[in-house]
Amino acid sequence: MTTLKRSVEHLKGVGEKSFKRLQKLELKTLGDLLLHLPLRYEDRTRLFAVHTLEIGKSVVVRGRVQHVEEVKKGRKMLVCQLHDGTGKLTLKFFNNIPVHLNALKNMEWLQCFGEVRWGFNGFEIVHPEYPATLECALTPVYPSTEGLYQKDLQKFILRALNECEDDLIEYLPENFLQQFGYPDFHSALQQIHVPTNSDINPLAIQRLAHEELIVHYLTMRQARQQAKRWQAPVFSQNKTIKNTFLNALPFKLTGAQLRVIAEIEADCQRNQPMLRLVQGDVGSGKTLVAAMTALSAISNGYQVALMVPTELLAEQHFRNFTNWFAQFDYQILFLTGQLKGKAREQGLKRLTAGEIQLVIGTHALFQEHVQFQNLGLIIIDEQHRFGVDQRLALRDKGEQGESRPHQLVMTATPIPRTLAMMQYADLDVSIIDELPPNRKPVVTRVLSAQRRDEVIAKIHDWVAKKSQAYWVCTLIEESEVLQGEAAETTAEMLTQALPNVRVGLVHGRMKSAEKDAVMVAFKTHELDLLVATTVIEVGVDVPNAGLMVIENPERLGLSQLHQLRGRVGRGEGESYCLLIYSSLPEMAQERLKIMRENNDGFVIAEKDLELRGAGEVLGTRQKGQLRFKTVNPELHGHLFGTVARFGDKLFAVAPENVPLLIARWQAAAVNYVEV
């Protein structure tokens, strides 16, 4: 066993308490310790003159002790005045005052270390370390936890570095290192944990981040290769059923839909599990593509499971599929938490017996008592709303011997190409990049909050024409309580301002049944205006709702704004999105300008990546699916586009190094394949 895999429990100096604290930081092996990078570095290599001090900087200062006094007014403390000839520095102690008083009162000179701040009498340091010795190099400061001191972490990491020295092997090609000017793996770790001077080589950290990104890609690509070792049902194409289905539709499919359907059909005609992600902008017709795929599976004698994140969306899909499949003798089960008692028991019994061809539902689908006879296809809508364990639990229900069902996952959140290559290296990706010809672009306007009365008047006129509208409230805070209160206040204001308008309210604090009831009332036009938080970002199709007002749009990312705007523009008439801002800093101006000028979600996603950076886009839009040890997406986002190329090259020129790299990092990548 390589020393990198050795438990930290066996490292000299790690006792029972330290071991538990290291576990809290997910530092289980010596390799984990070595990849635990400093948050910052302290400069203890030189003395700083008082007149050069900067607030917030931690420094070593040496001076003559000129005054030591215990102050008893207010909060009891010990004050020590230090002079170095260039200025005066105040040292303050609030704890263990007798100990410090006894030590300092007999000192003539004192050398101490601490963080400088500005106090009543000028520069001061609270609870400085003393005596402080000068070091020969920068001192790393690591992420820690309660009870685990920096000196202990530093000591453990140095010991791990010594013990693992022979196993810190370079697995990346020499020409790769030369191209970027990177040190080798061992040297990079040495430079990061044991810097030899007062400068840190930024390429040492970037080199580790680049390797981790490549390992993430390799992990997902390897998972994809291993998944193809499984068998899968083969769906032959029944042209009669396919044409019957298409001819009954009141519209023609777009070229993009037909292209993606052909890609899926090619997958399903092979005896390996399909793993395909379909990206499509709001309203591009992903659901119809899913229906065609389901039709292919069912016509070949297999069952299909369609899982969506909300009951409301599940109900919408149930109605659509019921209408589309009405001409066929297919049985569809609507399975959510609301299906109870005998109806639920009977439905599950029929599903197990193979009498149900298509089941549409929410998280209820992967529960243990839901069993299939012959599950051949899994479709997951809005895939980022589900945990990987949930998706795998559903997939396992279709596992029979060496065979697994095909998987089709869909998202209406366009993903920039560089991020898609990273996150979905284990899936084939199809893009529906064309909207139906009857879809009119949403007209977007940017207005100051001072024009709120004009907007309210527009809603009055809009509703008078028998049309419906949304009013979306946003807050900087993530709190659903605060967002709910803001939405409630807005709903009350609009109810008073528009007495003839039927106003509904939806927010995150409401129970699912309450939200669904309001949304159904809005869909059936029992309500004219829906006031909501961003919970409607993924919602139902209400063609009659052609006006959306979004308050404080400067607080949201571009992709989220585009998703919200996608709730309108589904009918035949003109649709509008009014963005009412309170303040408009420079970046917000740029974002709202992009929204006003673009309706293409993929263009908007790329612009969002440019403006906000990979970290924020991944973190807010993709539910934190990428977890890294050394990668800071804000600093290393420019490397994302290089990863697939170098990962593929490594597979080609040094495939024996791939498992060694993966083992070294134990990449915590979230995959769509369980290997």
Is residue 115 within 8 A of residue 125, CB to CB? The reply is yes
pLDDT in tens, 63-105: 999 999 999 888 899 999 999 999 999 999 999 999 999 999 9
CATH topology of 239-432 equal to that of 443-598? yes
Looking at residues 252-262, what average pLDDT do you find? 94
Q: CA-based angle 126:128:132, to the nearest 5? A: 165
Q: Where are the domains of the chain?
A: 3-41+137-200, 46-126, 239-432, 443-598
Query: 66: how many CB neighbours lie within 10 A of its CB?
Result: 11
Topology (CATH level 3) of domain 443-598: Rossmann fold (3.40.50)
**What's the half-sphere exposure (Cβ side, CA atoms, 13 Å) at 340?**
2
Q: Which residues contact 241 (CB under 8 A, 6 or more apart)?
A: 295, 299, 328
Lowest mean pLDDT among 106-110, 249-253, 268-272: 249-253
**Confidence at residue 288, expressed as pLDDT on a 0 to 100 scale:** 94
pLDDT band (50, 70, 90) for residue 589: confident
Find the angle CA(216)-CA(221)-CA(224) to the nearest 5 degrees. Answer: 130
CATH architecture of 46-126: Beta Barrel (2.40)
Q: What is the pLDDT of residue 625?
A: 47
Q: Judge whether 522 and 468 are in contact, CB under 8 Å.
A: yes
Q: Residue 610: what pLDDT?
A: 65
Residue 102 tokens read as 């006894």
Q: Are 256 and 288 in contact (CB under 8 A)?
A: no
Q: What is the pLDDT of residue 175?
A: 93
Which of the pair, 411 or 272, is modelled with greater confidence? Answer: 272
Q: Is 82 helix (H, G, I), strand (E, B) or coil?
A: strand
Q: Of the given ranges (132-136, 252-256, 505-509), which has the lowest mean pLDDT?
A: 505-509
Which run of H or of E encompasses 154?
Answer: helix 150-163
pLDDT grade for 290, boundaries at 50, 70 and 90 = very high
| Average confidence (pLDDT) over 379-398 | 76
Average pLDDT over residues 502-508: 90
What confidence category does residue 420 fall into, taking pLDDT thresholds of 50, 70 and 90?
Answer: low
Residue 54 has pLDDT above 60, yes or no: yes
pLDDT score of 142: 95
Is residue 543 packed enough to be buried (19+ CB in 10 Å), middle (13-18) or exposed (0-12)?
Answer: middle
**Contact assessment for residue 206 and residue 636, using Cβ atoms and an 8 Å cutoff:** yes
Instruction: Give the span between the Cα atoms of 377 and 353, in whole angstroms.
Output: 17
Query: Which amino acid, residue 597?
Result: E
pLDDT in tens, 304-357: 999 998 887 888 899 899 999 999 989 999 998 778 889 899 999 999 999 999
Interval 286-299 mean pLDDT: 95
Report residue 5: phi and psi, to 5°.
-90, 0
Which tens digits make up the pLDDT trace of 433-476? Answer: 887 777 778 999 999 988 999 999 999 999 999 999 999 988 64
Q: How far is CA 589 from CA 441, 532, 581, in A?
A: 21, 24, 10
Q: Which residues of 632-668 are buried (b: 16+ CB within 10 A; e: fewer)?
A: ebeebbebbebbbebbeebbeeeeebbeebbebbbbe
For residue 449, the 8-state DSSP code is: G
What pLDDT band is residue 223 in, cutting at 50, 70 and 90?
confident
Between 3.40.50.450, 3.40.50.300, 3.30.1380.10, 3.30.420.40, what CATH number should domain 239-432 receive?
3.40.50.300
- Residue 362: what pLDDT? 87
613 pLDDT above the threshold of 70: no
Specify the pTM. Answer: 0.69
